[in-house]
Chain A
Amino acid sequence: MTMEQQDPPAVLIDQASKWYGQVIGINDLSLAIDGGVTGVLGPNGAGKSTLFKLMMGRIRPSQGSVRLFGVDPWKNTSPYRRVGYVSESEKLYEWMTALDFVTTLARLHGMTREEATERSAHVLEFVGLTDVMHKELGKFSKGMRQRVKIAHALVHNPDLLILDEPLHGCDPLARTSIMSVIRELGKQGKTILISSHILEEIERITEQIVILHNGRLLAIGNLHAIRGLLDKHPHRILINCEDPRSLANLFVTEEPVFGVRFPGEGQLEIQTNDLSAAHAVLPSIVVSSNQKITSIENPDDNLDSLLGYLIKEGS
């Protein structure tokens, strides 16, 4: 996120608000993004889609301004020459083949038919759909459809890529595949905005995040730094094992652990103020306990608890 460049930043949002009648979509949001992969996090209804729609000129800000490469997207479509957008909408032209679909949309960038076909085949290969590019989209799985959408957004080699919940509803295999595509794009130096309501998804792609809550910008910056704040917050680790009590004895002597609980049969809950330290000692204790551990969960290591913490900190 740098604003010192001569060229206007890819995304510049200045005190933008958007209300739908009485409902607030975005509230006094200011943001500048240029370069790198940025995750836009927030629970459902936080304003992620509203933010993206504002950027894509679908809706007009009630207040403030939105600029893509220095241009107001509501009034002018020229920034879209440099923008690729994957909407959350599932709908595609089901009767088209993947190649046909991407080619048709590529031609809307002013490419010739030949140029568009060549570029489309190339991006479909990039997203790993070469084998099925002559198949009708109606026969595609959810993950394949998402990849087709990414392909159409990439076909004109955009400088800015906006991905609205690209992993939503995908199976783990598809997620991995899409994530690797996005990481690869990030490496290529594109500005990428990706929204999600699942922290782990974003974590696997980028460390640079924007957190939205109730239409407000809650946090912006490096995920590690935010996580560090989170680590200072009381955390729980839930362990399912054969003998919770003997395992608890081993934990209470460790420094990061300040309390234990037995919430259910065969369950041990460890309470800590330093999650990283607790995780550091966890493997050796498990080994020394010499008993079978079926699972280890971090019930607080999710967006909700992060938000809960940030909201509490902010207030």
Chain B
Amino acid sequence: MDRKGKSLFETVWTRMDRKAGAVIELTIRQLMHRISTWVVLGVGALLMALLLIFYIDSVRESFEPIDNDGDSEDNDGDGYPMGQERKYGTPDWDSDLFPGASVFILESDIDWNDADRSEFGNKSWEGSAFFEASWVDDQYAGEWWDSHVDWKLNQEGIPELTDCSDWELEEILDAIRADACDLGDDDGDGMTTYYVAGKWRGEGIATVPDNYYLSWGFWTEEVYVEPEPPEMYINEDGIDCFDAFILRGPGWEDSRVDCPSEARISGSHGFDDDGDCLAANEGNGDDDNGNGIRCDVQWIASNGVVTRIEADDLVDEDPDEQEYIGELGHRTFVIAVGKMAFVILLGLFIPLFLSLGLVRDETENGTLHLLLSKPIHRAEFIIYRLTGYLAISGSYVIVLSLIVGLISSILGPGDQLIRISDIPVWIGIGAATTLVLAAYGSMFNAMGLISPKYGVYLCIVFGIWEFMMGSFSILNPNWTVASVSISHWALQMIDAVVLLAWPDTIQWAEMDRAFEIDSGLSVFWQPPVHTLGTASAGIALLNSLAVLLLVSVAWIFIAKSVFSRREIM
């Protein structure tokens, strides 16, 4: 009970509550009766629906496993993927050479200056020799390409070659190239001697002329090697994280941890799982990061947070899309939608349509007389009107952000039904947008009061400034000029909330950049700037919150000063 014996319910504060309730309710109902309100809110919902469709589409594509290094392809058409051919040491540009294919094993040779210049046996030969043959293989095509001798066998299986039995030695050596000629059975043992220069297979005695060369060996049996499915060579070189102290030694597989690593340790991580970096010649891009270790990934941490990742070429170059690109793409979508669609677009357009005329229109419509003839102070009136506007616009963006958040967190990567860790981020986005709506709302309302006629143009100019500063702020939050904008602080708030809800986002952004995944995360998100030197996301969040509230209050105060002095005709 107060001095006048009135109950607590009848005190000034309670009456103020009731007045506030009445003006807020009136404002909400007025706004709901305007078509422009529904148009702007409808367009906002439509925009979000389109973004979700775009997300669903891109999620389907990006989660599809992608062969980032292209080694699942079979370029020579021999049925074996490039990765398998690399493993077996066969090239992927020759269909004759494939895993399990027959290969030539060199046994020995007669060099130009060897003393012993004869060799007997059933072999594959290459070079120049007088060959006293007991058998030749006219189908021989064992080695690659050229210089195979054509024996021109007749129907009885006897070679029909040029007769060179009466030629001079010099003449024979000059004339016969990749060919053979018949010298006849010069020693009468029943076996014909041929001069052969090229590649052939046969059994007999090979006698190499002085200063000529002959090598021989055999072809292995061809074995069947099961072609591996191309899918084996997709996502086969993922991003690895190791315990820094057990690198590459025995048991390194056991020291693997999820990336980004919980331990977030700096040092040499990464392993060339598919061996393509190690297979490259030494010094040829196998130590791009220059840490003295071939084919690894260097993680650099500061205060227990990985701030830079430097990878050697062809290491961890084919990560699992579901695991990495999916996660990166999802976070990029959430942050980009939060910043661009919610803060910048909805944050600017809703107040432009809803708050500019909050008080000004009452004056112009002539209905202000009705309200101001009641015991309500003009400043109170502004605050209640803005509260009514915020009740509509704020609940709209919070509900919209939760709907978009819920759908995207169901569709997003991960085994769980809903990505619970997304929810705080979406709540943060809703809250940041609401604060932006409050700041722009109070500012646009003030501009409508300062200049009822030209206020809209002032707001448009200001909106363009905010849009530009917001865009610059996304790309480079360190740019000082951008901090003279409301959007900058709201975007900072989202950056801070993201880091609080997903503390490993710094690593993800670094991985995105280092492994050239190009999801855009490192473009749309950077660690919050205004941490007062603490590098704490919490401080950044409080800072942004304080600035946005302060701006709102300042504009309410400006509007109040203008409105209180205004004479209403």
Contacts and interface: CB of A to CB of B under 8 A. Distances in A.
Interface of A: 53, 56-60, 77-81, 83-85, 87, 89-93, 95, 104-105, 107-112, 152-153
B375 A91 contact: no
A79 B376 CA distance: 10
B15 interface: yes
B567 A59 contact: yes
A-side interface mostly: loop
Q: Top 10 nearest A-B pairs by Cβ distance?
A: A110-B15, A107-B22, A108-B374, A91-B366, A85-B373, A87-B369, A89-B366, A59-B567, A80-B375, A58-B568
B33 interface: yes
A87 B374 CA distance: 12
Contacts of B369: 56, 58, 85, 87, 89
A83 B374 CA distance: 8
Interface in B213-249: none
Interface in B1-28: 14-16, 18-19, 21-23, 25-26
B372 interface: yes
A91 B367 contact: yes
B14 A110 contact: yes
B373 A83 contact: yes
A93 B30 contact: yes
Contacts of A112: 18
A104 B22 contact: yes
Contact of A80 (B18, B366, B367, B373): B373
A146 B366 CA distance: 15
Interface of B: 14-16, 18-19, 21-23, 25-26, 30, 33, 365-367, 369-377, 567-569
Contacts, number: 79
Nearest to B10: A110
A13 B361 CA distance: 31
Contacts of A85: 369, 373
A91 B366 CA distance: 6
A93 B367 CA distance: 8
Nearest to A57: B372
13 contacts: A56-B372, A59-B567, A77-B374, A80-B373, A81-B375, A84-B373, A92-B367, A95-B33, A105-B371, A105-B374, A107-B19, A109-B15, A112-B18
B569 A110 contact: no
Contacts of B22: 104-105, 107-108
Nearest to B371: A108
A77 B375 contact: yes
Give the interface centre of A92, A93, A111 by most chain B CB atoms within 10 Å.
A93
Nearest to B33: A95
Contact of B18 (A59, A89, A107): A107
A273 B375 CA distance: 51
Contacts of B373: 56, 80, 83-85, 87, 153
A77 B14 contact: no
A98 to B, nearest CB: 13
Contact of A104 (B15, B25, B569): B25
A110 to B, nearest CB: 3
Nearest to A50: B569
Nearest to B18: A110
Contacts of B370: 87, 92, 105, 152
B25 A110 contact: no
B363 to A, nearest CB: 11
Given A108-B22, A110-B14, A112-B18, A60 B371 contact: no
B30 to A, nearest CB: 7
A81 B370 CA distance: 14
Contact of B375 (A78, A89, A152, A153): A78
A112 B21 CA distance: 10
B376 A58 contact: no
Contacts of A80: 373-376
A111 B369 CA distance: 19
Given A104-B26, A108-B374, A109-B19, 4 more contacts: A56-B373, A77-B377, A81-B375, A107-B21
Contact of A109 (B21, B374, B567): B374
A89 B568 CA distance: 12
Nearest to A75: B564
Contacts of B372: 56-58
Contacts of B33: 95
B364 to A, nearest CB: 10
A90 B26 contact: no
A83 B369 CA distance: 13
Contacts of B21: 107
A59 B568 contact: yes
Give the interface centre of A78, A95, A108, A110 by most chain B CB atoms within 10 Å.
A108
Contact of B23 (A81, A83, A108): A108
Contacts of A89: 366-367, 369
Nearest to B26: A104
B366 A58 contact: no
A112 B14 CA distance: 10
Contact of B569 (A58, A77, A95): A58
Contacts of A153: 373
A84 B374 CA distance: 8
A9 B87 CA distance: 106
Nearest to A162: B373
